[in-house]
Structure 1
Amino acid sequence: MKNMKHLGILLSLLFLLGTFTGCSSITVSSDGNEEKSFEFIISSNQPDTHPTVVALKEFAKELVEKSQGTMKATVYSSGVLGSDRETLELVQFGAVDMVSTGVSTIESYEKMYSLFSVPYLFNDKSHYYQVMDSEYMRDEVFQKTAELGFVVKTWFDAGARSFYTKDTPISEPSDLNGLKMRTLASPTLMEMVSLMGGNPTPLDWGEVYGALQQGVIDGLENNELALTVNKHAEVAKEFSNTRHLFAPDVLIVNTNTLNKLTDNQRAILDEAFHELSLNQRELWEEEIEKAIQEAKEQGVNFTDPDMQAFIDSVKPMHEQVAKEYPEFIDLINRLGNE
């Protein structure tokens, strides 16, 4: 009921603003032909300083130039249009054109996306990039939700996720015993934390800072950027580089929005999406280095545990996904051995 009320309020607001999905008008292109123009709404729960939002805003500027004014976009950051799950519903319904969100948000719509919450699936960042840029991801996995009203059009680097806590160093899985560790509302991530010995505690992202500060949770798993962009370094002082997960963020797009475009506009948009992803990755690398240095200056202690014990603790998850998704695991193994 709460979600439906929220959806109704947002739909009313978007109607009043005149910015309902893919809002269009007629524009005369440079060759003198008439072509519909579109104004897209893009949502992100990250703040303006986050690399993904910075890249999205650059994408919006360049899209106008690349399309000769027939495509424009407005980026709404900091979750002003709702939580990840709420804005995904808005995209599915057609009230928002695009949303940048963590890949686990789609798990409840397409189970295969839960694979990206399986720890230690990739050997390293290079292996992870190879898989994410593969034709199989683009042509198969990213299209699986098309019948539900949305598809993934590109992906963003969200770093390697590791454990960090208020004041407890994590050197081996047993150090997680009894600790309340915040996770996304992902059954896969919750299983991972349980297998490693922790107590998985799903919690909305906006509540994490206060929960750490008040001791409602002992820690969580995320990347280094969360320490600075989300100010967690103020209340969490132990960061363990377990690097257990490379889980991308994705840009989800309403299928009706795409279907309204001409072939030329879709080609322009696809090229812009590709450049957006590459740009975001560069920005991410730059910001991660800055974040680590800034967090250290705020008193965060970074440690490098022996990861083999963590890898061994989640072997049951690897055995299960190998049975359920042999084609995908074969791809991962093949690219990992190249």
Structure 2
Amino acid sequence: MKNKKKLGVLMSLLLLLGIFTGCSSMTVASESEDKSFEFIISSNQPDSHPTVVALKQFAEDLEEKSQGTLKGKVYSSGVLGSDREVLELVQFGAVDMVSTGVSTIESYEKMYSLFSVPYLFNDKSHYYRMMDSEYMQEEIFPQTAELGFVVKTWFDAGARSFYTRDIPISEPSDLKGLKMRTLASPTLMEMVSLMGGNPTPLDWGEVYGALQQGVIDGLENNELALTVNKHAEVAKEFSNTRHLFAPDVLIMNTNTLNKLTSNQRDILDEALHELSLNQRELWAAETEKAIKEATEQGVNFTEPNVQAFIDSVKPMHEKVGKEYPEFVEVIKSFSEE
């Protein structure tokens, strides 16, 4: 009930802002004529984050490529609500697109939970080949269409690792008794439990304060969180477990998509492809910068016993192999070029 009330408040706010329909600038046009749309795009990341920077460039490129018929307005820093709240708004058509972690859509389509299984990919190249494949584009991304939204592209969110306030993590046993923040993902919570930690779901906006006050001992995320989200101020031990390559995704309302002409869809797809490639370049550059800045702020980066972490989550791999044998085979097929 509380979430429904909050969603109602958000929708009322969007009405007042004049953006309840993402296609608020749609004009009357014939079937063969490109209509005008201004997409409302949401992200919970700040303006300095590579994904937000890339999304704003995407909006500019989209307007230029479409000669002004397609525009985008990016709302960053979660001003439209949490990822889950905004995803509901995308379903209703109040927001056109949201950039979010792939785990946000686990509860809508179980296949997406597989990307929260640790050590699913051998390395970044393996991960990239899988995410760029026709299998993802044609078999996985469209699966939520009947629910009112589809994934249109993906973003690099780095390799997720563990970091804590002041406790080095070298072995899974080092996590014993530690309160580790996770997303509200059953898969990620199972992972932390198997590794020995105490999974503690927490909204992203609460993490800094929880670390500072000792409500949580640490969390799992990428290096950019140390600088972009200022976690390096309160977390000083970063263990390169690299246990997860879980993408962020750009989700779009299906009704909005279906209102576009075939020409506009082509333009959108081209711009989305460029958006994904641009975001990856920005991510790589910002990750190097983040490691340097975090080190200067006193963060200690260490290399743990990765094989011990892999061994600790074997039950998850066995389960996935039994439930999704085809998916596992597809992943294996992209392990080598």
User: TM-score under structure 2 normalisation?
Assistant: 0.97
RMSD over aligned Cα atoms: 1.3
- Map of 2:315 onto structure 1: 316
Q: Post-superposition shift, 1:328?
A: 1.1
- Map of 1:17 onto structure 2: 17
In the TM superposition, 1:163-312 aligns within 5 A as: 163-312=162-311
- Map of 1:125 onto structure 2: 124
- Map of 2:65 onto structure 1: 66
Q: Structure 1: which 5+ runs fail to align?
A: none
Write the distance in 2 (CA, Å) between the matches of 1:133 and 1:209.
Answer: 33
- Map of 2:6 onto structure 1: 6
Contact 1:164 1:220 in 2 (8 A): yes
Write the distance in 1 (CA, Å) between the matches of 2:276 and 2:285.
Answer: 15
- Map of 1:50 onto structure 2: 49
Contact 2:34 2:260 in 1 (8 A): no
Contact 2:126 2:336 in 1 (8 A): no
Q: Post-superposition shift, 1:6?
A: 2.2
Write the distance in 1 (CA, Å) between the matches of 2:185 and 2:12.
Answer: 30
- For 2:37, what is the secondary structure of its paired residue? strand
Write the distance in 2 (CA, Å) between the matches of 1:34 and 1:272.
Answer: 20
Contact 1:94 1:254 in 2 (8 A): yes
Q: Post-superposition shift, 1:27?
A: 8.3
Q: Counterpart amino acid of 1:113? A: Y
Q: Counterpart amino acid of 1:12? A: S
Write the distance in 2 (CA, Å) between the matches of 1:130 and 1:46.
Answer: 26
- For 1:145, what is the secondary structure of its paired residue? helix
Deviations 1:38-95 (A, max 9, x none): 0110000000000000000000011110001100010000000000000000001110
- For 2:181, what is the secondary structure of its paired residue? strand
Deviations 1:90-127 (A, max 9, x none): 00111000000000000000001000100000000000
Change (3 A) 1:27 1:61: farther
Q: Post-superposition shift, 1:11?
A: 1.9
- For 2:27, what is the secondary structure of its paired residue? strand
Write the distance in 2 (CA, Å) between the matches of 1:111 and 1:244.
Answer: 20
- For 1:36, what is the secondary structure of its paired residue? coil
Q: Post-superposition shift, 1:306?
A: 1.9
Q: Counterpart amino acid of 2:170? A: S
- For 1:308, what is the secondary structure of its paired residue? helix
Q: Post-superposition shift, 1:162?
A: 0.2
In the TM superposition, 1:80-91 aligns within 5 A as: 80-91=79-90
- For 1:26, what is the secondary structure of its paired residue? coil
- For 2:199, what is the secondary structure of its paired residue? strand
1:114 aligns with 2:102: no
Write the distance in 2 (CA, Å) between the matches of 1:141 and 1:61.
Answer: 28
Count of paired positions: 335
Write the distance in 2 (CA, Å) between the matches of 1:126 and 1:195.
Answer: 27
- Map of 2:133 onto structure 1: 134
Deviations 1:270-299 (A, max 9, x none): 111110000000000000000000000000
Write the distance in 1 (CA, Å) between the matches of 2:116 and 2:206.
Answer: 21
- Map of 1:161 onto structure 2: 160
- For 1:168, what is the secondary structure of its paired residue? coil
Q: Counterpart amino acid of 1:140? A: E
- For 2:219, what is the secondary structure of its paired residue? strand
Write the distance in 2 (CA, Å) between the matches of 1:314 and 1:110.
Answer: 22
Deviations 1:228-250 (A, max 9, x none): 00000000000000000000000
Contact 1:158 1:248 in 2 (8 A): yes
Q: Post-superposition shift, 1:34?
A: 4.2
Write the distance in 2 (CA, Å) between the matches of 1:34 and 1:203.
Answer: 47
Write the distance in 2 (CA, Å) between the matches of 1:21 and 1:69.
Answer: 16
Q: Counterpart amino acid of 1:193? A: V
- For 1:140, what is the secondary structure of its paired residue? helix
Percentage identity across paired residues of the two chains: 83
User: TM-score under structure 1 normalisation?
Assistant: 0.97
- For 2:26, what is the secondary structure of its paired residue? strand
